[in-house]
Structure 1
Amino acid sequence: MWTWYASRAAGLVSLVLLTTTLVLGVSGVARAATTAWPRFTLARLHRNVSLLSVVFVAVHVTTAVLDGYAPIRWVDVVVPFVSGYQPFWLGLGAVALDLLVALVVTSLVRTRIGLRAWRAVHAAAYACWPVAVVHGLGIGGADTTTGWVLVLTLGCVAAAAAGLLWRALIWSDGSGERLR
């Protein structure tokens, strides 16, 4: 039973951390550095929160597989839409996990693959985050309609939307110089 609670809790913590990672990443791209928050600080914070996100996603996935309530196999968490248990919603989680793994691996070998290739794969973060959110909303069952979970999820969606809107506005007015 503890694994069920651990999986849900780790999933929600992952949502908050991945949202923070997304907003910090957008801030770095938008060159939101100030004297109080220099660019290297934003980059390091983004990296550290990203690593913490990966830890909580790993806890979420591991406890979901270990929990006896739902018949989730290891293959179900990496191969999308093959699970016998809620194949669509779990499949979205597998897609999000696969994208996250691609982001992590390419970030670890960034200097070897080059900035252009890294950027192309890193753009997957813009797909990974909403897929993960929809996975949580769909597979979360009654938890997703619990007041505080709904507020938390909507708060994360609002933060991500605000960050992405801010980035779009900066780039649309021409002030967002593309990093080379």
Structure 2
Amino acid sequence: MTDWLIELPTWQLTRIFAIAAYLLLFGGMAMGMLYGYPFMKGKRKATLYKAHMQLTNSGTLLALLHMAVLVIDTYTPFKWTELLIPFMAHEHPLLYGLGTLSLYGMLLLLLTSDFRQKFSRRIWLTIHLLSYPIFIMALAHGFFSGTDTELPLIKGMYVATLVITLLLASGRMLVKKPARRAAA
């Protein structure tokens, strides 16, 4: 069994899992922001919520696989302690620590979403708003420590996802403000 694991193309797998996880998490983030727009109603809102959850869960799972493959990678192996304890990596501790923290943040978001009814709306929303800094940490981790960032397509992916996220977040704040004022 060990030989089979060592024979896996771990370097390629970890890169594929990382990029796929990032894109799925971005998709989940985008769907979550769209879900909050006031014009999303009925079936469209239910569909967005389902997509939001599926993308976020899948992205988190792939991020966990990304981390697990790093342990068996023979090119640049990591110890479990380097991956599980933020800022303990043998190289680029800050950047890899951001990856670890963003993974823990995603797990926190998923866990608290599963137990949403146990929290007050205010507490749950406060925790859920951590998705914004978690996304920024994941982006920084991938952009600055990813070995494929030098490729124009990958660099463009990071820039495009950041711009789209900023536009969606800004739009959501602008759309919500008049509704809040009218309610007050």
The two structures have a TM-score, normalised by structure 1, of 0.88
Which of the residues 35, 38, 55 maps onto 1:28?
35
1:31 and 1:57, CA in 2 relative to 1: closer, same or farther beyond 3 A?
farther
AA of the residue aligned to 2:149: T
Q: Secondary structure at the match of 2:87?
A: coil
Q: Secondary structure at the match of 1:144?
A: coil
Which of the residues 153, 165, 171 maps onto 1:166?
171
Which of the residues 139, 160, 168 maps onto 1:155?
160
* Aligned mates of 2:65, 2:11 — CA distance in 1: 11
* Aligned mates of 2:9, 2:39 — CA distance in 1: 41
* Aligned mates of 2:126, 2:41 — CA distance in 1: 27
1:62 and 1:38, CA in 2 relative to 1: closer, same or farther beyond 3 A?
same
* Aligned mates of 1:26, 1:117 — CA distance in 2: 18
Which of the residues 8, 12, 18 maps onto 2:25?
18
* Aligned mates of 1:160, 1:29 — CA distance in 2: 13
Q: Secondary structure at the match of 1:149?
A: helix
AA of the residue aligned to 2:179: S
Q: Which residue of 2 aligns with 1:97?
A: 103
* Aligned mates of 1:170, 1:176 — CA distance in 2: 9
Larger Rg: 2
Q: Which residue of 1 aligns with 2:51?
A: 45
* Aligned mates of 1:102, 1:41 — CA distance in 2: 23
Q: Which residue of 2 aligns with 1:175?
A: 179
Q: Which residue of 2 aligns with 1:134?
A: 140
Deviation at 1:78, TM superposition (A): 2.6
Comparing 22-31 with 123-132, which one deviates more in the overlay?
22-31
Deviation at 1:42, TM superposition (A): 1.3
* Aligned mates of 1:51, 1:40 — CA distance in 2: 17
1:51-66 → structure 2 map (5 Å cutoff): 51-66=57-72
Q: Does 2:119 match 1:113?
A: yes
The superposition leaves residues 107-139 of structure 1 with CA deviations (integer Å, 9 ceiling, x where unpaired) of: 121122333222111111011001000001121
Q: Which residue of 1 aligns with 2:88?
A: 82
* Aligned mates of 2:132, 2:160 — CA distance in 1: 17
Aligned residue pairs: how many?
174
1:75 and 1:114, CA in 2 relative to 1: closer, same or farther beyond 3 A?
farther
AA of the residue aligned to 1:110: R
* Aligned mates of 2:83, 2:127 — CA distance in 1: 20
Unaligned 5+ segments in structure 2 are 1-7
Indicate conservation of the 8 Å contact 1:80/1:90, yes or no. Answer: yes
Regions of 4+ moved over 6 Å? none
* Aligned mates of 1:126, 1:32 — CA distance in 2: 22
